[in-house]
Amino acid sequence: MTKYIRENQYLLSLIVVLFFSLTLLNIVFSLLGVFCLIIPFIMLALSKKNIWCKYYCPRSSVLMLFLSKISLRLKPPKWLISNAKNILIMYFGLNLFFAVMSTIMVSVGRIPPIDYVRFMIVFRVPFDLPQFVDLQTSPILLHFSYRIYSIMFSSTVIGLVLGFIYYPRTWCSVCPMKQALNYVKK
Ligand code: SF4
């Protein structure tokens, strides 16, 4: 059983590694992240249970795999978990809203595409992603791809930091996806 869980963890973690590697080839691959936003809800609708979190989530596998040996494993304070939970669900909703609305604005020519990564919506990261493959992407797709990447990047960084300081899967206590799934399940 332990062997099965570990093998599964390797496979699922590979999805995250593959995702971030592909975006170095071209940012348009970040659109694969949209599947990670949709598949949990499809699984929930089909099984009536949150099997995504239990068996399939690549992020929780990465957190366990990379952090289980190095995490400081401090106990997270209750105030942190409850505040972070509320902030992150708002952040996640707002972020998706901005991603869609700004893409619409780009498509009608009201704003130029934002072709760089932002941390938590507002902070431009101090590096550019190398783009090894030129796919001649349209400005609309380019903009939306960077926005999706920014969501995935921000949540992964926060998950890793929380997991390093506290328990490896602390992110799961505040995860907006789980909150949304629980809300839909009700
Ligand atoms: S709580 Fe979030 S990160 Fe954890 S398993 Fe569920 S979807 Fe994945």
Residues 19 and 29 sit within 8 Å (Cβ to Cβ): yes
Query: Hunting for tokens 């669900």 — which residue is that?
Result: 89
Does the pLDDT at position 125 exceed 90? yes
33 alpha carbon to ligand 1 midpoint, in Å?
Answer: 14
Under DSSP, the state recorded for 127 is: S
Does the pLDDT at position 186 exceed 80? no
Q: Please name the residues in contact with 25: beta carbons below 8 A apart, sequence gap of 6 or more.
A: 131, 132, 133
Give the pLDDT band (50/70/90) at residue 3: low
CA distances (Å), 39 to each of 8, 33, 56, 88, 171, in order?
Answer: 18, 10, 10, 20, 19
Give the pLDDT band (50/70/90) at residue 136: confident
Q: Please name the residues in contact with 65: beta carbons below 8 A apart, sequence gap of 6 or more.
A: 9, 10, 13
Residue 175 CB less than 6 A away from ligand 1: yes
pLDDT score recorded for residue 110: 96
pLDDT score recorded for residue 50: 94
pLDDT score recorded for residue 9: 83
Q: Which helix (H) or strand (E) holds 123?
A: strand 123-124
**Tens-place pLDDT, residues 14-56:** 999 999 999 999 999 999 999 999 999 999 999 999 999 999 9
Q: Which atom of ligand 1 is nearest to the CA of 178?
A: 1
Q: Which atom of ligand 1 is nearest to the CA of 159?
A: 3
Does the pLDDT at position 7 exceed 90? no
The token pair at 40 is 């949990």
pTM given for the model: 0.92
pLDDT score recorded for residue 22: 97
Percent of the chain with pLDDT over 70: 96
Q: Which helix (H) or strand (E) holds 118?
A: strand 118-119
Sequence ranges of the domains in the chain: 2-185
